[in-house]
Amino acid sequence: MLKEQLDKIMCPRTVAVIGASAKEHTIGSELMKRLTGYKFTGKIYPVNPKGGIIEGLQAYPTVLDVPDEIDLAFIVVNAKFVLQTIDQCYEKGIKGLCIVSAGFKETGKEGAELERQMKEKCEQYGMRVVGPNCMGVVNSHPDYNLDGTFAETLPERGHIGFVSQSGALGGGILNILKDLNLGFAQFISIGNQMDINAETALEYWENEDDVKQILLYMESISNPSNFRKLASRISKKKPVLALKSGRSAAGASAASSHTGSLAGADKAANALLTQSGVIREYSLKNLFATAKVFSNCPIPKGNRVAIITNSGGPGIMATDAICEYGMQMAQISDKTRETLRSFLPSAASVKNPIDMIASAPLDHYKQTLTTVIADENVDMIMVIYLPFLGLKDIDVANAIMEIKAQHPEKPVIGVFMTKNEFFTQISDMEVNMPFFMYAEEAAEGFMRLDQQRRWIERPEGKIPCYDVDKERAERIIRTAIKDGREQLTTLESIDVLNAYGIRACKYGLATNEQEVVDLGNQIGYPVVMKMTSKTTSHKTDVGGVRVNIQSEEQLREEYRDLLAKLTEKGLIDGLEGVIIQEMVKGSREMVCGIATDPQYGPMMMFGLGGVFIEVMKDVCFRIAPLTDIDAMDMIKSVKAYKLLEGARGTKPANIEQIQETLLRLSQLVKDFSFIDELDINPLLISEKTGEGIAVDGRIKVRMKEALNTLHVECDCHCC
């Protein structure tokens, strides 16, 4: 169904340009010039109230006057005439629209209302729409030769599907494709994305053979859940690269939890893209460098890299870059070394990096590459060239491209530290491998290829469902919101965690000195004492946490001192009591939690915890719900993972139990979607068992949503 609908736009046989013009330097004129100049294979019908001849074609006063059926209508009229134009298109039976016209929601309230009416009308008419406020569409396949844009230059043929939320940026990119040595199969400028958006394009291109990789420029992701579902499936079939702008963390400072303060809109977007298998780039330069690699390289079988160079220094720097990007230097086989020694001079090095020395002639490049590419220990090859002894860069490039053509199964990247004229020259040539000026660019390209390989091999993952006491957790939350409290007490928070099977310290609540002592004796010393208050959430700030209490006598003294301090600070009225907990011995403090992004929903966090959490910021985010693979990735992606493995003689952490903790938290926030923030800090790693034990917990809900979901009325009437 989707293919049939979008084929009307991307693969039309007849197009009308409503608003076509003979007046120079107008969008209606430029659009006609691109359609005719790119030699659109179908029929073009200009529509202009004055009629006449435009770009050598008969113009019609209205689209209703066109004698043929129309697949696609480009609308380039003033915004105030767009609604009536859509009516005429419907009457004509047109199902595909590309509304280039601006003046809608991007202009303010009136424009937004006009766009709302337009959306309603198009949905009613069963039309699919690109735009409004867009640059247009391109399909470079020779069966169509469709350039429906007003960019300054005609598109370059290639196999990239590109979606741009910015029309001007898309137009600029179309103008420089030749210099980038890249080409597009299809291009869609989604503009205000009233109907067709990045997700629509992803789904449309999923099984499109002409589109080998997909590039996205996005300022927003309208439906994160649907994007994740589509992208995680499609990125297994072909690379999906994204440049997501808008990396501001505005709003994070308002959060009350550690998880909330470390989260931000960009972390949510980054988590979503990571979980979807989308390769995220942070600049246009990197986006197109990576696209160039995927355009000319197959996915490798592993991450073992061989380097061929005619200069030792660049070879060493390339080795550093390969290692820093997390790949391996290939172990060259004895057979390959023996073959290399048979023709390279004695001064050459046949270890990796393979240094042919500065006097290497053209034939040595060809022989060395032919030999190394056949080595089963090598997955990818970097060929470095520096100009020496009159050897011409373009001759070397042609020679290694000839070898590459004979061995298309392995990625080869050329690093040519030569004049810019070389890169201008190869932009006019058909190339079968990417060329860069610096080794670091090539190493990053290999890293992206390896990233795609690992994603393809990555298991899909499962979302487990644990046996939990959901009713108990709901009762606890009901009590809090009935009191008008969005912040659960420490005791309530730990009780909720307990109900979901999350390992917490042995604990109990005491409201007077005798209960304090009884609990301490029951749990066994040493113990920890923590205040739990309906009015004070950060306990350590007011001296509300007392640790390593060794005896009944010390416990009594600490309890009396706590009461005195709270009385002195005017905080005694909010005190519910104190929690007496077993004191777990462990020097490794982790953190896990939940923060809610307004657009992306609940985000899970894991990382290094304790008092330095916001200083070190060694944390990882993922969007809930988590799969078992997501949870394990989170644990392994933080630098503190080395501590969990058992550094300096410490007992290795129980990684599977920590993984289960994250998955149980994911289930908790799925069951109670109104949980706004949650912290377990610290999740202390026991020296005895290696378990992650929740020593402290804080849960905050969105009050109005919680009241509505649980059908509760607040007793204090403050909500």
> How far, in Å, CA of 706 to CA of 713, rounded?
10
Taking Cα atoms as reference points, which of 139, 169, 134, 133 lies closest to residue 154? 139
pLDDT level of residue 254 (50, 70, 90 thresholds): very low
Percent of the chain at pLDDT above 70?
96
Q: Are residues 577 and 595 in the same domain?
A: no
Inside any domain, residue 153: yes
pTM for this one? 0.90
Residue type, 348: A
pLDDT at residue 610, as a whole number: 77
8 Å CB contact between 668 and 692 = no
Inside any domain, residue 478: no
Inside any domain, residue 242: no
Q: What is the pLDDT of residues 281-316, one digit of tens each?
A: 999 999 999 999 999 999 999 999 999 999 999 999
pLDDT at residue 242, as a whole number: 97
Residue type, 292: K
pLDDT at residue 255, as a whole number: 42
Q: Which residues contact 289 (CB under 8 A, 6 or more apart)?
A: 434, 436, 441, 444, 445
Residue where a domain stops, chosen among 582, 602, 629: 582
Taking Cα atoms as reference points, which of 674, 662, 494 lies closest to residue 576? 494
Inside any domain, residue 234: no
8 Å CB contact between 134 and 167 = yes
Strand order in the sheet with 507-510: 507-510, 575-582, 527-533, 545-549
Higher pLDDT, 389 or 108: 108
Q: What is the pLDDT of residues 330-351, one digit of tens each?
A: 999 999 999 999 999 999 999 9
Q: Are residues 520 and 371 in the same domain?
A: no
Answer yes or no: is pLDDT of 614 > 80.
Answer: no
Answer yes or no: is pLDDT of 256 > 50.
Answer: no
Residue type, 377: N
Number of H helices, E strands in the chain: 25, 30
Give the mean pLDDT of 693-703.
94
Measured between alpha carbons, how far is residue 369 from residues 373, 379, 432, 666, 705 in Å? 6, 13, 15, 50, 64
Percent of the chain at pLDDT above 90?
83
pLDDT at residue 718, as a whole number: 56
Measured between alpha carbons, how far is residue 573 from residues 111, 477, 534, 544, 567 in Å? 54, 22, 9, 14, 8
pLDDT at residue 372, as a whole number: 98
pLDDT level of residue 251 (50, 70, 90 thresholds): very low
Q: What is the pLDDT of residues 31-90, one digit of tens each?
A: 999 999 999 999 999 999 999 999 999 999 999 999 999 999 999 999 999 999 999 999
Measured between alpha carbons, how far is residue 644 from residues 589, 632, 650, 666 in Å? 10, 13, 9, 21
The terminus-to-terminus CA distance of the chain in angstroms comes to 47
Helix (H, G, I), strand (E, B) or coil at 356: coil
Average pLDDT, the chain: 93
Q: Mean pLDDT lowest for which of 90-94, 193-197, 406-410, 571-575? A: 571-575
CATH number at residue 674: 3.30.470.20
Q: Are residues 29 and 94 in the same domain?
A: yes
8 Å CB contact between 675 and 604 = no
Is the bond preceding residue 526 a cis peptide, omega within 30 degrees?
yes
> How far, in Å, CA of 314 to CA of 354, rounded?
11
pLDDT at residue 160, as a whole number: 97
SS3 for 126-184 is: CCEEECCCCCEEEECCCCCCEEEECCCCCCCEEEEEEEECCHHHHHHHHHHHHHHCCCE
H or E, element range at 557: helix 552-568
Torsion, Cα of 85, 91, 94, 100 (10° steps): 0
Answer yes or no: is pLDDT of 257 > 60.
Answer: no
Q: What is the pLDDT of residues 617-671, one digit of tens each?
A: 899 999 999 999 999 999 999 999 999 998 777 899 999 999 999 999 999 999 9
Q: Are residues 682 and 535 in the same domain?
A: no
Q: Are residues 642 and 569 in the same domain?
A: no
Q: Are residues 34 and 102 in the same domain?
A: yes
Measured between alpha carbons, how far is residue 96 from residues 4, 5, 105, 128, 185 in Å? 10, 7, 21, 5, 19
Q: What is the pLDDT of residues 477-510, one digit of tens each?
A: 999 999 999 999 888 999 999 999 999 988 899 9
Residue where a domain stops, chosen among 560, 582, 604: 582
Q: Are residues 51 and 109 in the same domain?
A: yes
pLDDT at residue 250, as a whole number: 43
Q: What is the pLDDT of residues 542-552, one digit of tens each?
A: 789 999 999 99
Q: Which residues contact 656 (CB under 8 A, 6 or more apart)?
A: none
Q: Are residues 558 and 449 in the same domain?
A: no
Q: Are residues 575 and 592 in the same domain?
A: no
Higher pLDDT, 538 or 577: 577
Higher pLDDT, 171 or 443: 443
Answer yes or no: is pLDDT of 258 > 80.
Answer: no
Q: Are residues 577 and 624 in the same domain?
A: no
Residue where a domain stops, chosen among 567, 582, 597: 582
8 Å CB contact between 134 and 100 = yes
Q: Could you give the number of structural domains in the chain?
A: 4
Taking Cα atoms as reference points, which of 323, 316, 319, 309 lies closest to residue 416? 309
Q: Mean pLDDT lowest for which of 107-111, 177-181, 650-654, 656-660? A: 177-181
8 Å CB contact between 269 and 242 = no
CATH number at residue 388: 3.40.50.261
User: Which structural domain, as residue segments, surrounds residue 439?
Assistant: 298-457
Inside any domain, residue 490: no
pLDDT at residue 252, as a whole number: 38
Helix (H, G, I), strand (E, B) or coil at 396: helix
Q: What is the pLDDT of residues 559-568, one digit of tens each?
A: 999 999 999 9
Q: Are residues 653 and 695 in the same domain?
A: yes
Please tell me what DSSP assigns to residue 242: E
Helix (H, G, I), strand (E, B) or coil at 698: strand
